[in-house]
Amino acid sequence: MDVGIVSYGAYVPRYRITPEEIGKVWGENGKAMGKGLFIEQKSVPAPDEDVVTISVAAARAMMARTDVDPREIGALYVGSESHPYAVKPTSTIVAEAIEATPDLTAADMEFACKAGTAGIQVCMGLVGSGMIEYGVAIGADTSQGAPGDALEYSASAGGAAYLIGKKNIIAKINRTISYTTDTPDFWRREGQDYPSHGGRFTGEPAYFRHITNATQRLLADAGTKPGDYDYAVFHQPNGKFPTRVAAMMGFTEAQITKGLMTPYIGNTYSGAVPIGLASVLDIAKPGDRILVVSYGSGAGSDAFDITVTDRIRKYKREAAPTVEKIVSNVKYVDYATYAKFKGKIKMEE
């Protein structure tokens, strides 16, 4: 039986900061930095927002669009590299907030930026094997960038949630494959506030190698070519990498534009590909074919071949805001406010 997406929802905090504003503080040409990264602005979480609240907002949007009883959800996974607790699951809080408890399994996942899509694959397996009726996979982050580091220009906050099942699917996941190696391009040790990265090493041997290999293997398995897809969503740590990887493999700008949200919200890490896919599903029509390829440092890529079904005509997309609407609600903050919101200013205990 077909397995696919039954519902989805996204959330991005409303605050934004521009690369110019960040560059001003660190003596860099922020405008040039933004231009080089294809990032116009990045989202900033409010002081009372974290991966739990972002995941709950996305999951509630997902549930608002479907009539599925939350008690039928058999598994819930939250993928993130910024879970608020080191020990104590984000997923249990989200499950409680959408009233899916207590008859389900839940766990937090971490695989740099691809823990959300890893969750989708796990849910596909559980649903496909008949172990559960529905599974929820969420990718969300309030990602960290060390003050003054190149990452600070992109690391942002947001997430999206997917309800995976067999009944009433709005998009069938035809197949998924992964490409995984041990590549230390980006990491954060236990107890460290900010991640470290290998600079240019994060490009060719990391992002590009994994995305292209995963994509080519999926296309070979599916017997498809880039032109067969109406949309393609690639992991987007900035606007530049996905644009370049798409061109390298023969995908056009028209195919990637709708799913490329990083220029407007920054790199939402585990939320990036899930939000990009949500943006595509917001306008997708029956029969549309979508290629989705995530990337997580460390490193690996999950690729998905998706076909939108007729069911999307009856789907209550209007019950929750579209990605376009979410990202249009914006309030710009200066660097001092951003530093205060992100807890970069040490306060008296």
Q: Is 124 in the site for other proteins (CB under 8 A)?
A: no
96 among known catalytic residues: no
- Yes or no: say if 202 and 208 are a contact pair by the CB < 8 Å rule: no
Least distance to other proteins, CB of residue 296, Å? 26
CA dihedral 180, 182, 185, 191 (to 10 degrees): 110
Q: Is 240 in the site for other proteins (CB under 8 A)?
A: no
Least distance to other proteins, CB of residue 250, Å? 38
Residues 58 and 56: their CA atoms lie apart, in Å, by 5
| Residues 307-326 as x/- pattern, contact with other proteins by CB under 8 A | -------------xx---x-
Give residue for tokens 């490409």. Answer: 179
20-49: which residues touch other proteins (CB under 8 A)?
A: 46-49
Nearest to 234 by CA among 292, 290, 301: 292
Biggest CA pair distance of the chain = 60
Task: Please pick, among 83, 197, 210, 235, the residue that the annotation labels catalytic.
Answer: 235
Q: Which stretch binds other proteins (CB under 8 A): 1-9, 165-173, 198-206, 335-343?
A: 335-343
63 vs 281 by CB, closer to other proteins: 63
Task: Please pick, among 21, 49, 81, 152, the residue that the annotation labels catalytic.
Answer: 81
Candidates 37, 44, 57, 73; binder of other proteins (CB under 8 A) is 57
Q: Is 14 in the site for other proteins (CB under 8 A)?
A: yes
Give the angle subtended at the CA of 268 by the CAs of 262 and 272, to the nearest 5°: 70
123 among known catalytic residues: no
- φ/ψ of 327, rounded to 5, equals -80, -5
* Token duo for residue 46: 């409010």
Candidates 68, 76, 78, 97; binder of other proteins (CB under 8 A) is 97
DSSP annotation of 149 = S
Q: Which whole-number Å values give the CA distances from 79 to 133, 142, 218, 257, 274, in the listed order?
A: 20, 12, 23, 25, 11
Task: Please pick, among 49, 83, 113, 152, the residue that the annotation labels catalytic.
Answer: 113
Q: Which residues are marked as active site?
A: 81, 113, 235
Which residues contact other proteins (rule: CB under 8 A)? 14, 46-50, 52-53, 56-57, 60, 84-85, 93, 96-97, 99, 320-321, 325, 329, 331, 340-341, 343, 347, 349
